[in-house]
């Protein structure tokens, strides 16, 4: 074997013999032990003790006098170093944050080991061994700030380079990091993926959460469903130049660590209270003589923690409940009394399903003003339990279960105020993990997670504002509001449509396996890992949609349709698999200079479906000549998996000043990063996208049914065969990131146009 091939062989054997996973939330304490003359001391005993639990982590210095204690949970520690013939040195009050890499050096004076010297103020104020640019927010900081809604997204906005972004039905990301897409941020809780969010938009569009590109938020958009503020130990957001162990997406890396119990029992209770009794009425409500809408917020809960067995087993339980009423004062347009009375008998129930006008009428358009005050409702219940257990020989295990149902009920969500749309999102996560020392200077870490997120939206008609809800809906036989949506749309009205039925129900399933292997060799800290994630989301849009569209109220009186749409959709269960392998070295090249370098390999396997229609592929793709482009047969993958996504990374941290209370560190780095192809697929899939779209036979049957009910004139119906253009994205994860191909698919009659 040639000498230049040796590093590659060592890398591959080390990587595949010791499979391990990335994104560890724990910290590391390392340093150099010398005598008073500066000579290094080997085989010195190093003991790191957690102040709250008295759990001990031990190690020894190597021949270069370097020690490394990995896999330390965030918390307060004291470090003790001893060696026969030297006095024992203790440095207390070492504050270790999530993913910290602290460098703490010791100079042992000559003397008996039984003589203990305590050195105060020896902990570094800044992270001197890490090249990444990051911000840490701990629990004390989060508790002292008045967080509206007690969700820590607002704290993320304090990070340099973070800009809030507007969420929409296709992209539910909430902030951009250094110009990256909002869907390119990666969330992790206790070292496992929390990118399990899936949308429940009223447009029946799954958004980019389908492919695992979003964190799981509550129905109100908060992070409480992942981790309540009271269950949060701290979190770190890395924004640039992070090590090879972090990746999968090029945006911010948000690592959250949950709280553990201690040797003492602790409990808290809280209630954040807001009530409209303390507020004046809205000016517009007063002007229109409307009652003051409710404004109520009760955010309540508590925690309980303590030992099951002192120094060994601990528990931490938290609960948070949120009950919210948000006041609204709106003016909308509805059909006036004259239009309702003069409408044809078959259409009167639909006009009466709008609220009754209580303002000025406009006889020329058949509309009237409707002013209303009301409150939208929201609720959340977040339960969390964590158990930690420490065994002999530096073996520690933990398990955490989180259950968080949430719901928002919006009145007139894009439509008439006589409709209410409840959206519910229930997040369940279960994580177990273990860490242990393999040998002196070597440690291993294993984590497993299963998560389930259930999101659904339904729309109901009620009697708000004097409206008369429809007693029956003109659905064909076998179609109900549980699998269908009725739309009655009048273009001239600002909120001119009523709807009823289930819009969407999506379920996300995740399996994530996590393990870390690290070893110290001289001045080199080696680390390897693998990151495998399996997502199987079920996309379940409305099975049937029926809409009657009128140009204005006057046209609705006589039943003169401008257009009618009937759509049928199919559900599917998708399969997304992501694999990431990495190897890195943190080299203490000089006492002040630390280099972190390595490689990461990401494989984003081609998406598939395990049930329902297959994702379509194309043949004859040629950017220079698209005339031969056509759909491939069912089951052919839409593109090929790319295996060449190797991402080199290098970063440095140089300590410019070592003066106590005035430390200065210079950081820099370079890296290649890849994004998820599945996030793009998630953006493309919708109820109106082939092959999940309509069926011609159901369209014909619906038209016959509407004609039989007297709602349309069959003789005036013209059906147009709709040839849809489908766009498929081949996301190669290369420098030429996208290749586009278009295929015209005549998939049958899917729209009925009415004269």
Q: pLDDT for 673-710, tens place per residue?
A: 888 876 666 666 665 566 666 544 444 555 555 566 55
| 618: enclosing H helix or E strand | strand 618-619
Which tens digit of pLDDT belongs to each residue from 390-402?
987 778 999 999 9
Which tens digit of pLDDT belongs to each residue from 88-139?
999 888 888 888 888 888 889 888 777 888 887 655 666 777 788 888 888 8
Strand-strand pairing, 86-96 and 116-118: parallel
**pLDDT level of residue 745 (50, 70, 90 thresholds):** very low
CA distance 182 to 251: 8
Strand-strand pairing, 106-108 and 27-35: parallel
Which tens digit of pLDDT belongs to each residue from 7-27?
343 333 333 333 333 457 788
Sequential DSSP letters for 368-379: EEEEEEEEEEEE
**Dihedral of the CA atoms 744, 747, 749, 752 (nearest 10)?**
-60
Statement: 3-125 belongs to CATH 3.40.47.10: no
**Dihedral of the CA atoms 319, 216, 405, 221 (nearest 10)?**
90
Query: 393 near 440, Cβ under 8 Å?
Result: no
Reply yes or no on whether the pLDDT at 32 is more than 50. Answer: yes
Reply yes or no on whether the pLDDT at 753 is more than 80. Answer: no
**Burial of residue 147 (number of CB atoms within 10 Å: 0-12, 13-18, 19+):** middle
Query: 366 near 395, Cβ under 8 Å?
Result: no
CA distance 477 to 475: 7
Query: 444 near 515, Cβ under 8 Å?
Result: yes
**pLDDT level of residue 262 (50, 70, 90 thresholds):** very high
CA distance 480 to 472: 10
With the C-alpha atoms ordered 630, 635, 637, 643, is the resulting torsion angle positive or negative?
negative
Which tens digit of pLDDT belongs to each residue from 507-541?
999 999 988 898 888 888 899 999 999 999 998 88
Among candidate residues 4, 18, 9, the one with its CA nearest the CA of residue 442: 18
CA distance 242 to 135: 12
Query: 241 near 131, Cβ under 8 Å?
Result: yes
Query: 485 near 499, Cβ under 8 Å?
Result: yes
**pLDDT level of residue 752 (50, 70, 90 thresholds):** very low
Entry pTM = 0.82
Most confidently modeled range among 17-26, 103-112, 411-420, 423-432: 423-432
> Which tokens in the block code for residue 470?
């429809």
Among candidate residues 658, 641, 752, the one with its CA nearest the CA of residue 696: 752
Which tens digit of pLDDT belongs to each residue from 148-198?
778 888 888 888 899 888 776 666 778 889 888 888 899 999 999 999 988
CA distance 298 to 324: 7
Which tens digit of pLDDT belongs to each residue from 648-675?
999 998 988 777 667 788 889 999 988 8
CA distance 404 to 427: 5
**How many Cβ atoms are within 10 Å of 624's Cβ, its own excluded?**
4
Using only C-alpha atoms, what is the Rg of the chain? 31
Strand-strand pairing, 419-439 and 395-411: antiparallel
**How many Cβ atoms are within 10 Å of 48's Cβ, its own excluded?**
21
Numbered ranges of CATH 2.60.40.1120 in the chain: 3-125
Among candidate residues 726, 743, 738, 709, the one with its CA nearest the CA of residue 621: 743
SS3 658: coil
């Amino acid at each position: 074997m040639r000498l230049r091939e040796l590093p590659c062989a060592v890398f591959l054997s080390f990587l595949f013999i010791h499979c391990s996973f990335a994104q560890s939330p724990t910290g590391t304490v390392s340093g150099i032990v010398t005598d008073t003359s500066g000579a290094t001391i080997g085989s010195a005993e190093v003991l790191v003790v957690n102040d709250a639990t008295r759990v001990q982590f031990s190690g020894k210095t190597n021949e270069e006098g370097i020690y490394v204690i990995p896999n330390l949970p965030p918390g307060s520690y004291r470090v003790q170093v001893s060696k026969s013939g030297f006095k024992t040195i203790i440095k207390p009050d070492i504050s270790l944050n999530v993913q910290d890499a602290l460098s703490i050096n010791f100079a042992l004076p000559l003397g008996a080991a039984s003589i203990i010297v305590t050195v105060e103020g020896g902990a570094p104020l800044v992270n001197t061994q890490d090249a990444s640019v990051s911000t840490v927010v701990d629990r004390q900081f989060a508790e002292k700030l008045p967080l509206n809604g007690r969700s820590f997204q607002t704290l993320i906005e304090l990070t340099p380079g973070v800009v809030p972004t507007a969420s929409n039905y296709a992209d539910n990301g909430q902030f951009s990091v250094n110009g990256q897409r909002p869907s390119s941020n990666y969330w992790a809780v206790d070292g496992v993926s929390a990118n399990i969010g899936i949308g429940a938009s009223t447009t029946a569009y799954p958004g980019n959460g389908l492919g695992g590109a979003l964190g799981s938020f509550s129905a109100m958009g908060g992070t409480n469903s992942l981790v309540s503020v009271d269950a949060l130990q701290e979190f770190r957001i890395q924004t640039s130049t992070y090590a090879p162990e972090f990746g999968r997406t090029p945006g911010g890396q948000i690592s959250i660590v949950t709280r553990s119990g201690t040797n003492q029992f602790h409990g808290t209770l809280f209630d954040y209270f807001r009530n409209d009794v303390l507020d004046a009425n809205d000016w517009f409500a007063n002007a229109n003589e409307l009652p003051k809408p409710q404004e109520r917020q009760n955010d309540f809960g508590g925690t309980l923690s303590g030992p099951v067995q002192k120094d060994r087993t601990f528990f931490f339980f938290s609960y948070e409940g949120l009950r919210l009423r948000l006041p609204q004062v709106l003016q909308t347009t509805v059909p006036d009394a004259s239009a309702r009375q003069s409408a044809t008998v078959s259409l009167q129930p639909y006009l009466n399903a709008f609220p009754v006008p209580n303002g000025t009428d406009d006889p020329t358009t058949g509309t009237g003003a409707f002013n209303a005050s009301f409150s939208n409702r929201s609720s959340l219940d977040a339960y969390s339990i964590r158990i930690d257990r420490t065994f002999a020989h530096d073996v520690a295990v933990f398990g955490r279960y989180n259950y968080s149902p949430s719901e928002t009920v919006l009145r007139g969500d894009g439509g008439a105020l006589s409709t209410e749309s409840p959206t519910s999102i229930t997040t369940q996560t279960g994580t177990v993990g273990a860490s242990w020392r393999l040998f002196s200077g070597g440690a291993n870490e294993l984590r497993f997670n299963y998560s389930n997120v259930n999101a659904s939206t339904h729309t109901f008609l009620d009697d708000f504002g004097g409206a008369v809800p429809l007693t029956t809906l003109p659905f064909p036989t076998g179609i109900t509001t549980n699998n269908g949506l009725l739309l009655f749309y009048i273009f001239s009205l600002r909120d001119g449509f009523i709807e009823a039925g289930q819009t969407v129900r999506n379920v996300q399933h995740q399996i994530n396996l996590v393990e870390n292997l690290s070893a110290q060799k001289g001045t080199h800290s080696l680390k390897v890992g693998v990151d495998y994630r399996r997502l199987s989301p079920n996309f379940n849009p409305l099975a049937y949609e029926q809409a009657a569209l009128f140009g204005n109220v006057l046209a609705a009186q006589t039943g003169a349709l401008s257009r009618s749409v009937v759509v049928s959709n199919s559900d599917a269960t998708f399969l997304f698999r992501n694999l990431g392998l990495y190897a890195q070295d943190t080299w203490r090249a000089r006492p002040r200079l630390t280099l972190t370098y390595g490689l990461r390999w990401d494989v984003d396997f081609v998406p598939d479906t395990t049930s329902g229609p297959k994702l379509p592929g194309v043949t004859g793709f040629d950017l220079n000549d698209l005339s031969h482009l056509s759909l491939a047969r069912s089951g052919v993958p839409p593109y090929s998996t790319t295996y060449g996504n190797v991402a080199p990374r290098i970063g440095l941290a140089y300590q410019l000043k070592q003066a106590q209370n005035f430390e200065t560190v210079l950081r820099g780095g370079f890296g290649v990063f890849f994004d998820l192809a599945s996030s793009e697929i998630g953006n493309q899939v919708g109820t109106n996208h082939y092959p999940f779209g309509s069926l011609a036979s159901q369209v014909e049957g619906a038209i016959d049914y509407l004609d039989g009910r007297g709602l349309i004139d069959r003789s005036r119906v013209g059906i147009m065969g709709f040839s849809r253009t489908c766009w498929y994205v081949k996301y190669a994860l290369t420098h030429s990131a996208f290749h586009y191909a278009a295929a015209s698919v005549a998939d049958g009659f899917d729209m009925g146009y009415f004269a």
